[in-house]
Amino acid sequence: MSPTLSEHLSIRAEALAARRRADAPEVVMLLADDDFAGRVAELAGSLGRPAGEVRGEVAGYLREMGATRTRRATSDWARFSRWLTRAHELIIDPEQAHRLRSLDRTQSLLFPFSHRSYLDGVTVPAAISQNGVEPPFVLAGANLDVFPFNRLLRRSGYVYIRRSTADNPVYRFALRWYVAQMIRNRRNLCWSIEGGRTRTGKLRPPTYGLLHYVTEALDADAAAKALIVPVSIVYEQLHEVPLVTTEARGIGKRPEDLRWLWSFGRSQRERFGRAYVEFGEPIPLRDRLAEMRGDDPSVRAVERIALETSHRINRATPVTTTAVVCLALLAADRALTLDEVLATVAPLARYLAQRGRPVAGAANLTDRATIHRALDDLSRSGVLAGFDGGTETIWSIAPGQHLVAAFYRNTAVHVLVDRAIGELGLVAAMEDGENGLATANREILRLRDLLKFDFFVPSRREFAREMAAELAVADPRQAGELHEFGPADARRWLTESELLVAHLVLRPFLEAYLVVADRLAAWPDDEPFDPDGFLEECLRLGRQWAMQKRIASEESVSLELFKPALRLAEHRGLLADGAEVAKRRADFRDEIQATVRRVAVIAGLHRRDRS
């Protein structure tokens, strides 16, 4: 029901009277906007609530999230943030920064970033603003709204946003309009596309809310322009990794408060290497939306753009020396000498060079001094244990540190996913019939679908090109194109390969999927599905299987790995009630078991090659 003229004027008068001197510019503009006032009244009518009451609530939410910049606050925060980030040396490509300066002149730049640390929300905007780009407003979780620093941060461009808003339409309305006003004002924005920090080291699935609001702002204002600039941030090491890996096991998260902030800041006293910020290939948002909607008006364009952004973040993320050293030691599962580590890393270094994958700091991964320095750094932080009492110094994963080492390895897992999927496609071709190419194609597409909630795979067409490039690495005679081959060819390529990675990259995830599939097959088909109770069952079974050595390591016992598997099961309709779903759940378990068995084939070939 539309408001009457007198109601509209009354609301308008209340809004003008309620304006405060300290209000952020966007808040002032919205509270003085007639169209906004009318939309608030419409919202109140749809909720069956008094318009003035809703108007006051909206104004309160706007002020809660409203941010500005003052010279003094920005200067004070810059000094504090330098203290907070003192453990790392920030590395940025100056050519990328130069390109950003030219893009910043005519449009809002949107900087969705990967989220590995609490430091990201400090480091990423610093990397942007230190290079002559208009400083972005940082859209941060309200959990970091910690007194007394919250007032300083609000005046330094930090917008605090509540995490749980599903049952609060008034808050969502206020946030939608606030973001839209920032786009109209050509503000640069910066936020974590993952929503929260990764607990495993790899990029998490994206959240869509803020991107939805930005898209609505572009749809509502034909003059507004925005460019997505995907941002990758990766650290050589992080002080908080041991804590986040325990959170992935279901351990409760410590609430953020002043004592937490002081403790976190003190933990950064020890130097922990470099932080690398990389800017991926930009996405012209309006053009990309039009292209997607033109192809198919019903397409979920925002979701597709979010996935494309995540894919480009992965493309920009370099491989660190820390990651390859951890990969080598996790692969060996025993102590190694420096020469043995170098011998393990060398095939990976050659592969990265062949595929043109970036290495952090352009480090030479075959250089003895570079690898030795990484081993020493990881030993000082307690991730590795060194022993020099024999004829040679050896290094191994320290007791209780396998999950931490896996976190660092997983920061590089994105560059090996295609390779791992290709290897499993060749195992299928080796086992299942004469037409190896057709069998491998079916298998890699099945795996692409199976893993799509954990890894950001490109379109089918681009994915096929990636697979052709992978096979060209295995056999240069393929010349970038897939030709017919048989089981004997597939076996030869696998047995002659100097680099096998499927067991290192995919086994932790697939074994977690197997835990979920096993519990799902056992769930009574006449009982309503309880996600929380189900995940608790998965944790218990995972711990049992790890102790029984039915899964390779405790890395698979993680809520962060169980949840994507559960999303996949839901996507396939396996969480519904009814007797007809029981067989499909059993088929799902059998599919995962068959995939895990093929991973074991790769693991066996890897061990044989190194025995």
In the prediction, which pLDDT does 9 show? 46
- Report the C-alpha gap between 484 and 497 in whole angstroms: 19
How much is the pTM? 0.90
Tokens of 59: 């104004």
Pairs from 601-605 (Cβ < 8 Å, separation ≥ 24): 601/427, 602/423, 602/424, 602/427, 602/494, 602/500, 602/502, 602/503, 603/502, 603/503, 603/507, 605/494, 605/495, 605/500
Neighbours of 313 (CB within 10 A): 25
CA pair distance 364, 370, nearest whole angstrom: 7
Positive or negative torsion for Cα 136, 140, 142, 143: negative
Phi, psi of 607 (to 5 degrees): -65, -40
Residues sharing a CB contact under 8 Å with residue 174, sequence separation 6 or more, in sequence order: 58, 61, 62, 65
Query: What confidence score (pLDDT) does residue 147 get?
Result: 73
Q: In this predicted structure, what is the pLDDT of residue 562?
A: 95
Q: Show the 3-state SS of 179-241.
A: HHHHHHCCCCEEEECCCCCCCCCCCCCCCCHHHHHHHHHHHHCCCCCEEECCEEEEECCCCCH
189 φ, ψ to 5°?
-125, 155
Per-residue pLDDT of 511-536, as tens digits, reads: 999 999 999 999 998 888 999 999 99
pLDDT at 149: 77
Q: Going by C-beta distance under 8 Å and a sequence separation of 6 or more, which residues neighbour residue 271?
A: 86, 87, 88
Residues of the chain scoring pLDDT < 50 = 1-2, 5, 9, 11-13, 15-18
Residue 141: phi, psi to the nearest 5? -70, 140
Residue-level pLDDT at 433: 74
| Residue tagged 């453990």 (tokens) | 87
Instruction: Write the CB contacts of 108 (distance below 8 Å, at least 6 apart in sequence).
Output: 182, 183, 186, 187, 188, 189, 224, 225, 226, 227
* Residue among 148, 151, 202 nearest 417 (CA): 202
Show the CA angle centred on residue 497, arms to residues 489 and 337, nearest 5°: 160
Predicted local confidence at residue 505, as pLDDT: 93
pLDDT value at residue 10? 52
- SS3 for 116? coil
Quote the pLDDT of residue 1: 44
Helices (H), ranges, 363-486: 368-380, 402-410, 417-431, 436-450, 460-474
Can you give the pLDDT at residue 420? 95
